Structure 1
Amino acid sequence: MAEEAVDVSNKQIILKHYVSGFPIESDFEIRTTPIRLKVPEGIPNAILVKNLYISCDPYMRNRMSEMEGSYVDSLVPGSPITGFGVVKVLDSTHPDMKKDEFFWGFTGWEEYSLITSTQSLFKIQHTQVPLSYYTGILGMPGITAYAGFYEICSPKKGEKVFISAASGAVGQLVGQFAKLLGCYVVGSAGTKEKVDLLKDKFGFDEAFNYKEEDNLNAALKRYFPDGIDIYFENVGGKMLDAVLPNMRLRGRVSVCGMISQYNLEKTEGVHNLFFLVSKRIRMEGFLVLDHYHLYPKFLEMILPHIKEGKVEYVEDIVEGLENAPAALIGLFTGRNVGKQVVVISHE
């Protein structure tokens, strides 16, 4: 006998309108709508899920603006925000997605979601680690750090590595990967707490608070008197401009993001680009979307490191869907320490 479908209320976070400048909490609203916890008849290959954890990520700011030609679609004002999360299947018409299984990937900022496009979901096979890790170290930020460092930077033992926004979801992993390889690693962050975290927990050789530096060029010369081989770029603007003259011959710059620019009406110019020529620097932007085929290889590498305590991970966990807008906004002022995660339900 088939289970009877249950109707429940579904709390959602809605983007009210497109945003210019820094987002504020009034750009969002909380809405509650009814939902039936069953895939509607006639919809094949779909799942009805309970959202457990959602991820706050810097790229989401770009989606709050009406942008043409971006690699990811703009959000739809008046509709629930979408992003990466961890879900539990409640009902399914998909042959490979069963009730009570867990997945990570794209879902809604709401308590329950009907997902009809399931291509961007990954089945969670390893549940001996916290499920929240699949918004971070075992999810999109993890594979981003892996691909951006190993694939784009082609690192070698003993090289000098600099990482901006180094205590964030991606940066903290890149630094640890570099240390595992035997590199000299320096990171920048925006508070003393984060600088201490980089050195004491993640094992960076050095770290500095960029807000306390009057001259970024001088700061980099202090930590890299012989220059930088690899720069993992998360910030852009003035930081990128200071890094380029400090790169070594045939250095590599892996461009993951530019969080300092996302809320500006007019982005800052970079003046030192000629160093790309004179120092034969290779600077390459990348999208994690192009590297998902590496996910099984990445898991094979990272899971033993987590188990053995060779890679640490720090999460900044916020409880309650209603607190998600403030958590997301906090990314752009550096409020979070580590990977920003919002807990909707503990199952």
Structure 2
Amino acid sequence: MSRLNGSFKALLCGTLFFLNGCHAPGIGPKFSTDNVHVPSNNGTLIVRPLQGDPLLGQIQKTHAGLTFTPQFPFLAGQTYEAVFIGADGRQSAAVHTFPIEAKAPELLEVFPSGDTVPANHLKFYLHFSERMAQGNIFRHFRLIDLATGKPVEEPFRETELWSDDGKRLTLWLHPGRQKTGVNLNVDLGPVLEPRQRYALEIAPDWESEAGMALAQAERKVFTAEPVDHTQPEPRHWTVSAPQAGSRRPLILTFEAPLDWALLHTMLTVLDARDEGVRGTLKVTRHETQWRFVPDRPWSAGIHRVRIGWELEDLAGNNLLRLFEVNLEQPQAPAFAGPRYLEFRTR
């Protein structure tokens, strides 16, 4: 807002007043939570975002002055100005920023939760306490090679993949660098090297949708192990069957960590009639264990776990095929359907 000639400035309750001529400070507009009031009813009151267009709303005129109520609520973090032009042409104005009343976002969890990943690892899941600001987010991330202390160049696939609630980000390491023989892999090399330690860093200036920055900088340190070129094999899982008549958990234990998100969608417990069993699942032990507690006690008999072929390990190998496939070599036909594990409750 431009400086008014001969202006008088006073800071009062977070509002900056500009007054022209001989008006007393009390004549200026005053912001409240949901309206703007000026103690004069003889003039014009305009309210707008700073240097923006006037807001839509209603003005009520009483003996106590003019009160402007916007059609839509004032926005937290937004700066507004109110200008009152008296009948004598003199002006007074106020600029006010509504404080953001929101919690600072926190990074609650990072998956994989363990401190090792295969060198051909593909993605991280970042869980936040609040909806995060989207668009141009990759400037907030760095992947540091702890052997050199320097950032890895171009490590991420810069595509934003958010959950519906805006609180979970799927952060991909660039598949073109993690896949052997692809152009980026040849030109830049893989993102991760076996037996090297890395740190995924998130800058503290990343804000939530409400405009609050992260409570602190975040860092996940991990070690890259040798590349993984094996498929998950349900036949090698350990099944701990619960007792009939109880609500004890069914426990599946895997040979290696599997994809956290897919473990929540790719496994279904079926009863003896092949109908889905309702219950609650939990992924534990750094994504090497899957626990399912039914809503009702287990019935006696044979049950099955249906496993979608899309279930992946950390390197993107699924039940149908490896992430890296040599197209020059003939591949045996694979069954593109679910797999089943049978267990009996007694």
TM-score over 0.5 for the alignment? no
TM-score (ref. length: structure 1): 0.24
Hey, which of these two has a bigger chunk of helix by percent?
Answer: 1
Hey, which of these two has a bigger chunk of strand by percent?
Answer: 2
TM-score (ref. length: structure 2): 0.24
| Higher gyration radius (CA) | 2
